[in-house]
Amino acid sequence: MRLVFLGTGTSFGVPQIGCRCRTCTSGDPRDRRTRSAALIEAGERRLLIDTPPELRLQLLAAHIDRVDAVLYTHAHADHVHGIDDLRAISVKRGSGLPAYGPAATMVELAEKFPYIFDRHAAAPEGTILPELVAEVLEPGRETRVAGVAVLPIALPHGGGTVFGYRVGRIAYLTDAKDVPVGARGGLVGLDILVLNALLPRPHPLHLSIPEAIAVAQQIGARRTFLTHLTHDLPHAELAAQLPAGIVPAYDGLVVEEDEV
């Protein structure tokens, strides 16, 4: 099983428009962070997590020309507004691309993008519409997605809820403010844990870097990767501050699941 980090940045992205800070002007390519998304490959199956605004560029950079399903964490703009780029995927399939997520998220996506989810929507002559088929997941209930076992995990995000996903011994959790004790039963025995870590200081909607470190150490995965990063710390500086077994992810990073 393989995890590809397509994007690892926060909603502003890095560099941030109009910013001349040391991260935004860095020459280190790891400091160029597009909005957060990932791809999990399980054998021949590919599961895409979220569709951020840079999705087309991310898929091209990773040489990904096919996915079998999409897993949505939630419907915030930085996680969904590249959804139209799935047109190139769905047209090759010749049928709707399955898209999974929390019930409220799938309703919101259908309302925002009716031309994508309405099976009766007709494309103007000579044009093509993206076509997705909405599927609702229940938290804590393992479901086969494109033939792959996926466990949705409900997490708090301010006043709302986001889904994290466990696939095999990989768990991808983003935009969480906490990982409650009740959710941790599904996170035992991980090889790879991905956690959002927004800032060095507290934030009302997201885990901070110190909070993410504490959660990672409590969960005890063999390896933890931090994502959804801002421009507050350059990659190299953040990496130097982290405990053993915890590292910042970066756009384009590919991680293989350890078989032992």
pLDDT band of residue 253 (cuts 50, 70, 90) is: very high
Q: What is the pLDDT of residue 94?
A: 82
> What's the token pair of residue 196?
């959002």
8 Å CB contact between 255 and 234 = no
The residues facing 124 across adjacent strands are none
Please say whether the structural domain 2-17+33-121+129-256 has been given the CATH code 3.40.50.2300. no
Report in angstroms the alpha-carbon separations of 145 from 42, 149, 164, 247.
11, 6, 15, 29
CA 56 vs CA 47, 166, 243, 255: distances in Å:
16, 25, 34, 21
Give the residue among 51, 59, 71 at the shortest CA–CA distance from 167. 71
pLDDT of residue 259: 56
pLDDT mean over 79-104: 95
**Three-class SS state of 27:** coil
SS (HEC) of 127-165: CCCCCEEEEECCCCCCEEECCEEEEEEEEEECCEEEEEE
**pLDDT per residue as tens digits for the range 34-79:** 999 999 999 999 999 999 999 999 999 999 999 999 999 999 999 9
229 has pLDDT over 70: yes
Check the CA dihedral 177-78-154-250 and report its sign: negative
Residues in the chain, total: 260
Percent of the chain clearing pLDDT 70 (strictly above):
99
Boundaries of every domain in the chain: 2-17+33-121+129-256
Mean pLDDT over 174-181 rounds to: 96
